[in-house]
Amino acid sequence: MAGMCCGVNIGEAETAAPVEPSSKSSRRRRLLDIHQFKFTTTDKAVATPMESGGTRKRQKMEEVVPASSLRDCADGVHSCEVKEIEKRLIDDDVPEEKGPETKSFDLKASTSETQLDVVVPECPKYGMTSVCGRRRDMEDAVAIRPSFSDRSFNLRGGIHLFGVYDGHGCSHVATRCKDRMHEIVRNEIGSGRGASWEQMMSESFSKMDKDVIEWSTASETGDEDPGSVCRCELKTPQTEAVGSTAVVAIVTPDKIIVSNCGDSRAVLCRKGVAIPLSVDHKPDRPDELKRINESGGRVIYWDGARVLGVLAMSRAIGDNYLKPYVISEPEVTVTERTAEDECLILASDGLWDVVSNETACGVALKCLQSCKPRSPPRSPGSDITFTAEGESSDKACSDASILLTKLALARHSADNVSVVVVDLRSGQ
């Protein structure tokens, strides 16, 4: 019976002699035998691989399947090949007891580790500037602790701490807060008591206050080395008249927790709008004035409102001689992060005394929007001196903090100026 092959008539007496396939063709056919697949378009057209024994010419794949399907199919073939190789390695080559020679075949472990690296976000970009300004002594301290706790609530993201501490009387309480606050907060998070953020931060500030008093006492009696010689230890043996403000921001993948004690401040820039995340603790604030009066203290106006005519803030860490009028209890705010969040600014009152929240946000956003792409950290030889814990991780954030500091000095700020700018934009 006559037949057709490639459009040519073949008689009954004519038979095609078997041809030994070449090695390249043979390998291709074996691969197709292993990976059976088909391509389907929206028109229900189907292209099947050529059977190993047939001689019918294959149609061009571009005529049957669109380019996008070709890409997907190529990925599918690659995936099938990988799975087939993994199966052969596991079934044939891997011995029952794993040894050093089989370490590279632990494919599942390496895959999960790679996925974990992909989903864990890095610390937000930040920049910090801290200058003495027109003051005789530098009493500010800044702490930046990326991924400071290994016991975060969500394994898909770390938690990061940013703190600004504005000392008064001397610098050693602010320095102590910089060195110890993150450790105390980390212990509270890892305590396993399941407390709220408000409770954990309040307890952390209380423990920080006690730690400062005990450390100061031990340093005065010689039981503990203070670590550095500061001005008050050279001139006066008593350090109870020393304290510090504290504004601490903890940034998680979905929240911003701000704890404030004193007149340093945290401001969130969201969609171009300045949102204060803390309220300054001034002695003439109505609720603070009432609390001081009820505890037996007085607010005296001497170059501004002051507790007992001395301290120009109603809450602080340290200042043991002004207790119970001056307390260390922080006010805590918990803010849900959104896709519209742009940056977070933490600063001492050296900035906020002369620069409004709106102006600070406008300056920071201009810097963040004008510096693209992101640049590596500023080199150690730059013209701005950063503290060891607060060096910049991004030029745009660094430029924002520098510009805000220069703006405060240009407006004749008479205090130390410390500024931290954290980039919260998604996709950074």
Give the domain extent around 312.
Answer: 125-423
Residue 343 counted as domain residue: yes
Strand pairing report for 417-423 and 299-301: unpaired
What is the average per-residue pLDDT within 221-237?
56
> Are residues 317 and 207 in contact, defined by beta-carbon separation less than 8 angstroms?
no
* Per-residue pLDDT at 379: 40
Residue 409 counted as domain residue: yes
Q: 303 vs 1, 264, 283, 312, 391, CA distance in Å? A: 116, 19, 13, 9, 35
Tokens 């990925």 belong to residue? 75
Q: What angle separates helix 197-221 from helix 172-189, to the nearest 10 degrees?
A: 140
Residue 308 counted as domain residue: yes
Residue 290 counted as domain residue: yes
Of 103-107, 208-212, 279-283, minimum mean pLDDT range: 103-107
Q: What is the pLDDT of residues 142-168, one digit of tens each?
A: 999 998 876 544 435 589 999 999 999
Closest CA to 358 of 273, 280, 421: 273
Torsion, Cα of 172, 162, 149, 394 (10° steps): -120
CA distance 222 to 138: 25
Q: At 255, phi and psi to the nearest 5?
A: -140, 160
Task: Please report, for the domain that includes residue 212, its CATH number.
Answer: 3.60.40.10
Residue 105 counted as domain residue: no
Q: For residue 243, what is the enclosing H or E element?
A: strand 243-244
Of 28-42, 336-350, 405-419, minimum mean pLDDT range: 28-42
* Per-residue pLDDT at 295: 95
> What ranges make up the beta strands (E) of 15-84?
39-40, 46-47
CA distance 25 to 193: 68
Residue 204 counted as domain residue: yes
Residue 402 counted as domain residue: yes
Any residues with CB less than 8 A from the CB of 235 and at least 6 apart, and which? none
What is the average per-residue pLDDT within 26-31?
53
* Per-residue pLDDT at 399: 94
Better pLDDT: 91 or 251? 251
Residue 50 counted as domain residue: no
Torsion, Cα of 335, 341, 343, 347 (10° steps): -30
Tokens 């209380």 belong to residue? 206
pLDDT at 391 over 70: no
pLDDT at 45 over 60: no
Of 42-51, 161-170, 207-216, 381-390, minimum mean pLDDT range: 381-390
Total domains present in the chain: 1
pLDDT at 62 over 60: no
**Model confidence at 179, in pLDDT bands (50, 70, 90)?**
very high
| pLDDT > 70: percent of the chain | 59
Q: What is the pTM of this model?
A: 0.67
Q: What is the pLDDT of residues 296-320, one digit of tens each?
A: 999 999 989 999 999 999 999 999 9
Better pLDDT: 178 or 158? 178
Better pLDDT: 281 or 213? 281
Strand, coil or helix: what is 341? strand
Kindly state the tokens that stand for 40: 């389907």
Tokens 């229900």 belong to residue? 44
- Amino acid code (one letter) for 161: L
Q: What is the pLDDT of residues 66-115, one digit of tens each?
A: 444 434 434 443 444 444 444 443 444 444 444 333 333 232 332 223 23
pLDDT at 367 over 80: yes
